[in-house]
Chains A and B, each alone.
Chain A
Amino acid sequence: MSSHNIRISVNEKTYRSTVDSRITLLDFLRNDLSLTGTHVGCEHGVCGACSILYDGTPVRSCSLLAIQADKRQITTVEGLCNADGSPGVLQKAFCDAHAMQCGYCTPGMLISAHALLEQNSNPSADEIKESIGGNLCRCTGYIQIIEAVQLASQRLRNSR
């Protein structure tokens, strides 16, 4: 098994590590960096529970190797929190709209919705559906999630 030295920025903190080439980025984040907010869902790139931002773009961390993240900027759900660890605007909106039940798909949903709001400050319901279309949720039926993203976008616009 070949090992590689990598340097990754995760949530604006730089980590240097030696990893086996076959370790997924998901396992690396969870096991090596103890960032357990990113969840293991299907491990074949369908459910989106493991979504993270990879140089600002939402991707599935189950379908990337840790070595592919060398010299990249990664953001996980923990990185969406304020500096003091409290929930950010989008996360608060998810609480206010009760946009979850079991909370398992939530980190991936937040990552997808965050990426949308970075690009589009006033998304329509259809645009929100498109952005979370690759994130499966079995609890909510999505409606409260869509409402939460709308609430967050409104709050973000009001605060600008």
Chain B
Amino acid sequence: MRKSKSTNLRYISKKRRVIEDERFVCGTGKFVQDIQLSDTKHIAIVQSPYAKANIISINSKPASELDGVHAVLTGAELANHTDPIRFGLNLPNVTWYPLAVNMVRYVGEWVAVVVADNPYLAEDAAELVEVNYEALDPIIDPEEAYTDSKRLVHPEHGSNILYEGHFCWGPVEEDFAKSDFSLSFRVRWGRSSTVPIETFGVVAEWDEGREMLEIWASIQMPNFVELLASAMRIPLNSVRLHQDVDVGGSYGVKRGIKHAIIVSYLARKLRNPIRLIEDRLINMSSGDAHGPDRIFDTNIAFNKDGKVNSLKIRALDDAGAYPGRGPFQLAKPISAIVGPYKINSVEYDAISVTTNKTGQVPVRGFGQSPTNYMLETAIDRVARHLNQRRLDIRIKNLIKNDEFPYLIPSGSSYDSGDYLGVLQKTLDRADYENLMKRRKNARIDGRLAGIGLATCLEPGGGNNIFEYLMNPSAEITTFTEGCEIKVDPDGLITGVMGTTSSGQGHETLVATIIGEELEFDPALIRVVHADSLNAPVTRSPVASRMAIMLGSAAAGAAQKIKAKALAIAAENLGRPIEKLEYAEGTVFDQINTSHNISWSEICFIAHKAYHKLPHGMEPGMRAHNVFQVPGGGQLPDTDQRVQIYPCFSFQVHIPYVEIDQHTGKVSILNYFVGHDCGTQINPDIVRGMVIGGLAHGVGAALYEKFQYLPDGQFLNATFADYLMPSAYEIPMVTDIEHCTPSPLTSHGQKGSGEGGYLGAPAAISSAVNDALAPRGLSICELPMRSSIIEGLLNNGSTSQ
């Protein structure tokens, strides 16, 4: 692949308006809630009040007798007519239906749904559904779940362990033996999530004449159509997923498969369009909302000069009651298990347990943010142990510029990077010496002040082989993305992508790259989201992959269009292709530039003047290109080493915080973030991703946690109880750009959707612990809520 020189670029990396924005500011976006099909019926959901209980009986009669109620659907009926939802892991004895069958396994689990003329009536009726339960003893604590053989979430499975994997890459024991020191610690990542402002919604209609399911959903999910068709027992090509709905934020979580099965079943049964829009309580208690909930026990071996040699990591993850792809979040971190550091060997024990909580879904970074929090804590601990600067330990261990591509013990080859360059740039901009003076003066004044320092690697564009690592029956070695370009007889260009978007600006991405390649103003290029039956080859817009994968696919498709234009021109100008030049659609004879053919003539010929086409050329002007994941197509070796992600972005985070000693409140007074995602396709989009991801990280670090009582009651299913950062809590971030192009993509781009979220929790933890250090205190659990810090400061305890 060639690397473009940024000086020659017209549109890429230039500050240009994001195409999608205008419809959003005018209120003319088309979200799933805006889709109105005539005679649509609405759904309300009956939820379990128990964490674990047998369902003894359900009396739906009073609800179904209400005027305007059309059906009450229970788990027993749905299970009779659909197949269970497939898991990512190989769990033949764990059964998951959208509505509980016989047993409920978490507070909020869906037991029945009511279908009515409007949502108000549906909710009235849902309150009339009488369910009798026999309460059972739930298991809530993940460590207890790991060892308990009696309180089983899924008794047929025989244990609460969904997955337990042992990985050893390199001479771990030898490296520990020859190191001067080792230290061990525990950190805990709280159950939080990215919580979009739009809840999940889905509308389905059964087309009787065509025997087809038409469905609109606010999803961001690989395999959605496959899973839906399989559960509905209909062929894959009988499902048409409309992907031209704007998705109101997702950041990984918008999965919605159980919702989709329910509305699809009901739409077919009742012959009415059916609509399920979560309310906020449903969304947060029992939709697809909860992210990783993870305990790390880590042992790190190092020398007295600060050189880190080896790591032993045990990650215990609480997947909740029904995890779909959630547990794979233990596997993505394998792709960057040593972060940006040269660490010779790693042992990794990854354990996923089931508990009586809401099931876990993928969240921004797919497990990388908790892992990075652990890894950066480890580096800080080494510094503290050696009484050296945290910065110096990082400089000592960071991979150097001349060491790329750099192969890490778990099999990833890092494509490119300038870690020390980004670090230095960020330190300079932050005026690190001055920041230290400021901290010193604050401390002299008796204030608790701290500087945070964290780096992070953002793997992007993965090939899905992590699934095979955790489930060898899934022999999937790629995760491709395609793009189609159609040029109409008038010469106007349409780019076709195959998925939904949830704020990533994919239309701008595709238009910018096509515009760059074909030398047309991207503002004149239309980009559409095809439905699933018309779509180019696609997986989904996850894993910081679309700039890498869709962007490179669009570039390839544009090159095919250009090649066809040149061939048509060669035929009609009577000159060989190598003597011709393409400029903004017009093709010239290099020697005699007045001998040329315009873009509109070329497009007319392609579509309509068959007699002027080169012999045997297919008429029309369209190209489909599928980009294969660079480095994909390999199964792991016998030591389970494999390249999972091709491109690795890098960030450095430096926050400055002060803590109120009386309330424990953390104020982030400054925040510097240096980022390098290679070539930026649209700088405003990248900046938004970096800062927005960072804001999610502030939430995870300081505020956000889904809270359960020991008996499994769920406490915070509202925005009043689950605290998310407002404009007050997010500091004014200074972002510092750096560009180390990837050699693997069309224009040197890498991923940028996750780095902010990967670095911020680690950096804020580093800052808070730096502030607490003079008091001899530390905190090793996220979120670091003010109540926890206040308890620590005033009682020396971390209990809330």
| Cα distance, A100 to B249, chains bound together (Å) | 11
Verify B718–A42 contact, CB threshold 8 A: yes
Contact with A along B15-29 (1 / 0, CB 8 A): 001101111111111
| Cα distance, A76 to B27, chains bound together (Å) | 9
Verify A138–B249 contact, CB threshold 8 A: yes
Which residue, A34, A39, A81, A85, has most C-beta atoms of chain B within 10 A?
A: A39
Within 8 A of B (CB), among A116-160: 125, 128-129, 132-146
Verify A78–B684 contact, CB threshold 8 A: no
Verify B248–A102 contact, CB threshold 8 A: yes
CB nearest neighbor in B for A88: B25
Known contacts being A35-B27, A42-B280, A81-B26, is A142 close to B730, with CB within 8 Å? yes
B426 within 8 A of A: no
Stretch of B234-242, B286-294, B471-479, B692-700 on the interface side:
B692-700
B658 within 8 A of A: no
- Distance (whole angstroms) from the CB of B688 to the closest CB of chain A: 6
Known contacts being A46-B719, A49-B197, A98-B684, is A141 close to B26, with CB within 8 Å? no
- Distance (whole angstroms) from the CB of A30 to the closest CB of chain B: 8
Contact with B along A30-74 (1 / 0, CB 8 A): 100011111111111011010000000000000000000000000
Verify B730–A98 contact, CB threshold 8 A: no
Interface size on A, residues (CB 8 A): 59
| 8 Å CB contact of A36 from B33, B279, B727 | B33
Stretch of B499-507, B546-554, B639-647 on the interface side:
B499-507
B73 within 8 A of A: no
| Cα distance, A137 to B694, chains bound together (Å) | 13
Chain B residue numbers with a CB within 8 Å of A91 are 25-26
- Distance (whole angstroms) from the CB of B284 to the closest CB of chain A: 9
- Distance (whole angstroms) from the CB of A14 to the closest CB of chain B: 20
Within 8 A of B (CB), among A6-44: 20, 22-23, 30, 34-44
Which residue, A49, A107, A143, has most C-beta atoms of chain B within 10 A?
A: A143
Verify A95–B25 contact, CB threshold 8 A: yes
Which residue, B24, B502, B696, B728, has most C-beta atoms of chain A within 10 A?
A: B24
B34 within 8 A of A: yes
Verify B197–A44 contact, CB threshold 8 A: no
Which residue, B247, B503, B693, B696, has most C-beta atoms of chain A within 10 A?
A: B503
Within 8 A of A (CB), among B482-538: 502-505
- Distance (whole angstroms) from the CB of A11 to the closest CB of chain B: 10
Contact with A along B705-734 (1 / 0, CB 8 A): 000000000000011100010111010110
- Distance (whole angstroms) from the CB of A124 to the closest CB of chain B: 12
| 8 Å CB contact of A102 from B196, B685, B733 | B196
CB nearest neighbor in A for B280: A42
| Cα distance, A92 to B17, chains bound together (Å) | 10
Within 8 A of A (CB), among B234-265: 246-251
Known contacts being A44-B720, A104-B31, A144-B691, is A138 close to B197, with CB within 8 Å? yes
Chain A residue numbers with a CB within 8 Å of B25 are 77, 87, 91-92, 94-95, 100, 103, 106, 110
Contact with A along B110-145 (1 / 0, CB 8 A): 000000000010000000000000000000000000
What are 28 pairs between A and B in contact, CB < 8 Å?
A20-B120, A30-B33, A40-B277, A43-B279, A44-B280, A46-B720, A47-B197, A47-B719, A87-B26, A95-B17, A98-B21, A102-B502, A102-B503, A104-B29, A104-B196, A129-B727, A132-B727, A133-B727, A135-B727, A136-B719, A138-B197, A138-B692, A140-B692, A141-B692, A141-B698, A142-B726, A142-B727, A143-B691
Interface residues of B (CB under 8 A from A): 17-18, 20-29, 31, 33-34, 36, 120, 194-199, 246-251, 277, 279-280, 502-505, 684-685, 687-689, 691-696, 698, 718-720, 724, 726-728, 730, 732-733, 756
